[in-house]
Amino acid sequence: MEQPTPRHRPSGQYAAADPRRAAIIDAALVLFAKAGYLNSSLAKIAAEAGTSATVITHHFGSKRRLLMAVLEAREDRTVRTFGRLAPGSGPGSGDDVRALFREVLALAAYNLTQPGLIELYTRLSAEAGDPAHPAHAYFAERYERVAGFLASALRRSLDKGQLRTGIDPESIAREILAVSDGLQVQWAVAEGRLDFVGLYRAHLDRLAQALTVDGKGLAEPTEAERLL
């Protein structure tokens, strides 16, 4: 019998050696973002991907493991972005607070090009407040890891004398995450009509001015930012 054609073509982020696996991840992302994990059955995901629940189970084992595959695909960009800011990854990397803020802003701007990921993240992060939710551990670990990375980068800037004395890197890191996630929720609710990048840039610009010894903010917006 002829196999049905998948409704969603795998995006570049999810392209894998097995195109069917990539199509399943894409379909799961769409449904998880639209209805949430709890309301998305394997049968619905299979119909969206043009395959069967048996095939999904063959590739992923369970809906829980499929969810983790979707979240790992989303995480790839974050890992690569923060990797560029690690100490020793390039000239001036790892201790420049403005470089840190520009990379964080660039990551937020990139996320807007894949709105399904933002919808997925905002919906799942709310569901995952329940410790019994399969994504609870993922979000708890991710918040600690990203906040820890941001705090470490800010601490290096402080040690280099770029930041004012007396600041709390951990609190600033949590603030950056809180503003980003809060704006993501508002952007999703406004169906993309909110100027996410402009508002986030304004916040990071004010933060840079308040934290740095020289009181300077971010540079002028890049051409890519102006186009968003």
How would DSSP label each residue in the chain?
-PPPPPSSPPPTTT--SSHHHHHHHHHHHHHHHHH-STT--HHHHHHHHTS-HHHHHHHHSSHHHHHHHHHHHHHHHHHHHHHTTSTTSSTTTTS-HHHHHHHHHHHHHHHHT-HHHHHHHHHHHHHTTSTTSTTHHHHHHHHHHHHHHHHHHHHHHHHTT-B-TT--HHHHHHHHHHHHHHHHHHHHHTTT-S-HHHHHHHHHHHHHHHHBSS-----SPPHHHHH-
Question: What percentage of the chain reaches a pLDDT higher than 90?
Answer: 49
pLDDT of res. 53: 94
5 vs 80: CA distance, rounded Å = 33
Q: Is residue 75 part of a domain?
A: no
138 within 8 A of 68, measured Cβ to Cβ: yes
Q: Per-residue pLDDT for 154 more than 90?
A: yes
Confidence check: pLDDT of 212 > 50: yes
Can you give the pLDDT at residue 7? 39
- Is the same domain home to 137 and 188? yes
Instruction: Please say whether the beta carbons of 63 and 70 come within 8 A.
Output: no
Report yes or no on 77 lying in a domain. Answer: no
Mean pLDDT over 109-117 rounds to 81
Predicted confidence at residue 209, as pLDDT, reads: 96
Going by pLDDT thresholds of 50, 70 and 90, the confidence category of residue 87 is low
Report helix angle 97-112 to 63-83, nearest 10.
Answer: 140
Residue 13 has pLDDT above 60, yes or no: no
Domain membership flag for residue 78: no
Q: Which of 12-21, 120-129, 156-165, 205-214 has the least mean pLDDT?
A: 12-21
The pTM (predicted TM-score) of the whole model is: 0.73
> Is pLDDT at 16 greater than 70 in this prediction?
no
pLDDT at 8 exceeding the cut of 90: no
Q: Residue 165: give the domain boundaries.
A: 84-227
Domain check: are 106 and 49 in the same one? no
Do 53 and 5 belong together in one domain?
yes
Query: How far is residue 204 CA from its own chain's centroid?
Result: 17
51 plus 123 within the same structural domain: no
The answer on 118 and 16 residing in a single domain is no
- The pLDDT > 70 percentage for the chain reads 79
pLDDT at 85: 54
The pLDDT, as a whole number, for residue 11 is: 44
Domain containing residue 210: CATH number: 1.10.357
Domain assignment present for 120: yes
Tell me the pLDDT tens digit for each residue of 38-86.
Answer: 889 999 999 999 999 999 999 999 999 999 888 887 676 566 656 655 5
107 burial (CB, 10 Å; 0-12 / 13-18 / 19+) is middle
Residue 6 has pLDDT above 70, yes or no: no
More confident residue, 114 or 188: 188
**Average per-residue pLDDT for the chain:** 82
Looking at the structure of the chain, the number of domains it has is 2
Residue 140: inside a domain: yes
